[in-house]
Structure 1
């Protein structure tokens, strides 16, 4: 395959490998990957963000299809295009700055998901021929190598141009965490002025969700149950009400909201929609308890044993429950434009590639925000 590339591409690169589950990452040099199809593009990774799914994968809990080992993780990253096929149909050029989500690498293009395209029921879907829901596609950082490396091969159809006002570090955290919470908020199907709750508001997705939801014109309630995430949420959540679920029960909060809104009936008090981020039954129950009758619960987390759902809430209160997974490439582009326009940025700590294990240790402290590998930092 004929390749157009930057003149100074090296023969080798450094990458962090997971050699066994529940072990530290190992940094070593390997050859720079090569391109295999007209859709593939080589980028120099500029920033790679750590996600909860990276922790799930590293612990061996990515079921039913754990990755083969050794494995290069990270499914939310950003970089600079350094090589692409000369016969590529992509509109991208060498030197372009792009964001890279995990899904979906080399989709089949022919299954019902890929063939569907945008419809009135799903106007945010991509054009026919590409779908993040394709079951045949691979996923960067999960079923194939990801961004914890100096270079990575990506699918040109995945890529999102980085708009002015966002750095590579800003962008990396938006390519999974940002897209996922933004898409979940859209699935809430709310109008400006309606109420939305975010359970787990001080985490990586949650604190971005507080900013997105507020800028969307929604009235926002953030819920968490640990000191550090609550402090982070209160520090960024201008206009949002932040609730410590250890102190206030859901029913009391719903009544407070209803009273503020001038509601008379208990069933009409509370949130119009809630997004559940933690993998906790208590978090799920709390979120459901905040909803008014006919409210919607959007689930993002996927605990191995699932959630226990009360049939009484569904039948007698008409609560609807839907899931939400990342978003289309079209949505990814919308997220970056929205973030740039409204100055939505993550609270984060950055580390050089060589200190990925220090980043993981920081993640397990549970202090909220996002943790990112910044390739510009010296080792």
Structure 2
């Protein structure tokens, strides 16, 4: 399949990739074939990866919690520079700096694809997602769906953008799904993690909401405060005490207007519902095997419980500009080189860093890390 690039770049036949080759086995750095411009489908983009990110759910893939094909290149948080485009791509050119979308090859015809834009990434006929059956971003070159990619704002660095591909996008959509007005209260359970610290800032800075942050780890409580939550509570004080503190902060109105669960603790959803007032909403984001909520919360408080998954391309574009406009900061740990991935994975397992981790693959890309005018 020819590309729209008049002179396609000459790429090496093989490239480095960090792959899962067996469940519960350390990631391996391997040499795999390089995708070539001549093989692009009409809606494809070929990227030179600049900075990919490590997500907590990468641990679930490694453990075999989700069905994936093996071997597969890990990471679904990818940023890079366009090298070549498929023949149907008109809105990107070689040299553009982009955030890769996780979804690939939506059908564009089903009810979901025809529905509201912010539902389209739920297309039941879409192709496999990045790092599931398609290789992910822990490699030097990557093919992504140009219809799901988003151009980075001029002032945003690749290192800031990479964690936004999943953690940021997921947090942003959850805040939007709450449907709150400025001045209303939102609760975030798991507020001091990679998603939570972004959700605090998005809710407060971009949407004008008041934020209750709940965490149970000293470092999570500290990051919640640093991220600007109006009230930070330690989940270890118990549900009754949490409810009382939240009621006092919200004027005795019975709790926050809506809550988001980004913690995978077995009681996190129950806690989120407990601090939410009657007729409020709880948005479940954390990926867990089972969500447990007392029936009394649902019936006697008339709560609305919704799930939220990633974000649509339109929501991601809106989020990227909000991050720049409202100075939303990513607590980032920057590593250099794909060789650092196995070490960072072990650090993540042990909780040895706060926030997110990303890896500089293309040191020569423009705006790789924050600084020099890039956020």
For the criterion TM > 0.5, the same-fold answer is: yes
Q: 2:216 aligns with which of 221, 225, 248?
A: 225
* Worse-matched range after superposition: 225-234 or 326-335: 225-234
Residue 45 in 1 paired to residue 49 in 2?
Answer: yes
Q: Residue deviations 1:22-51, cap 9 Å, x none?
A: 111111222211334100110001111111
Aligned partners of 2:16 and 2:140 also within 8 Å? yes
Match of 1:252 among 224, 241, 251: 241
Partners in 2 of 1:45 and 1:7 — Cα distance?
15
Kept in 2, the 8 Å contact 1:254–1:271? The answer is no
**Contact 1:90/1:156 (8 A) holds in 2:** no
Per-residue deviation at 1:161? 0.5
Q: Does 1:114 align with 2:98?
A: no
SS at match of 1:47: strand
The answer to whether residue 360 in structure 2 is matched with residue 370 in structure 1 is no
Corresponding position of 1:198: 188
Deviation at 1:193, TM superposition (A): 0.5
1:78 deviation in Å?
0.4
Instruction: Give yes or no for the alignment of 1:25 onto 2:27.
Output: yes
Secondary structure at the counterpart of residue 217 of structure 1: coil
Alignment of 1:1-379 (within 5 A): 1-3=1-3, 4=5, 7-34=9-36, 35-62=39-66, 66-85=67-86, 87-102=87-102, 104-118=103-117, 124-125=118-119, 131-215=121-205, 216-235=207-226, 237-246=227-236, 248-263=237-252, 268-304=253-289, 306-351=290-335, 352-366=337-351, 367-376=353-362
**2:49–2:362: 8 Å Cα contact kept in structure 1?**
no
Q: Considering only aligned residues, what root-mean-square deviation do their CA atoms show, in Å?
A: 1.8
The size of the alignment, in residue pairs, is 357
> What's the secondary structure of 1:136's corresponding residue?
coil
**Offset, 1:272:** 0.8
Question: How much does 1:6 deviate?
Answer: 5.0
Give, in angstroms, the shift of residue 80 of structure 1: 0.3
Change (3 A) 1:108 1:243: same
Separation in structure 1 between the aligned mates of residue 147 and residue 107 of structure 2, nearest angstrom: 13
TM-score using structure 1 length: 0.89
**Residues of 1 paired with 2:78 and 2:250: CA distance?**
42
Report the secondary structure of 2:49's partner residue.
Answer: strand
Question: CA 1:111–1:322 in 2, change beyond 3 Å: closer, same or farther?
Answer: same
Provide the C-alpha distance between the structure 2 equivalents of 1:241 and 1:374, rounded to a whole number of angstroms.
35
- Tell me how far apart the structure 2 counterparts of residues 28 and 143 of structure 1 sit (CA, whole Å): 17
Whether the 8 Å contact between 1:132 and 1:327 is mirrored in structure 2 is no
Residues 186-237 of structure 1: CA distance to partner in whole angstroms, max 9, x if unpaired? 11111111100111111110011111111111000111101122222222x2
Once the two structures are TM-superposed, the CA of residue 245 in structure 1 deviates from its matched residue by: 1.1
Contact map agreement 2:2 2:40 (CA 8 A) in 1: no
Question: Where does the alignment leave 5 or more consecutive residues of structure 2 unmatched?
Answer: 365-375
TM-score by length of 2: 0.90
Measure the CA separation in 1 of the matches of 2:220 and 2:125.
Answer: 35
Q: Closer, same or farther in 2 for the Cα pair 1:200/1:91, shift >3 Å?
A: same
Residues 354 and 259 from structure 1, CA distance in 2 versus in 1: closer, same or farther, beyond 3 angstroms?
closer
Q: Distance in 1 between matches of 2:287 and 2:246?
A: 29
Counterpart of 1:281 in 2: which secondary structure? coil
Is contact 2:78–2:162 with CA below 8 Å preserved after alignment? yes
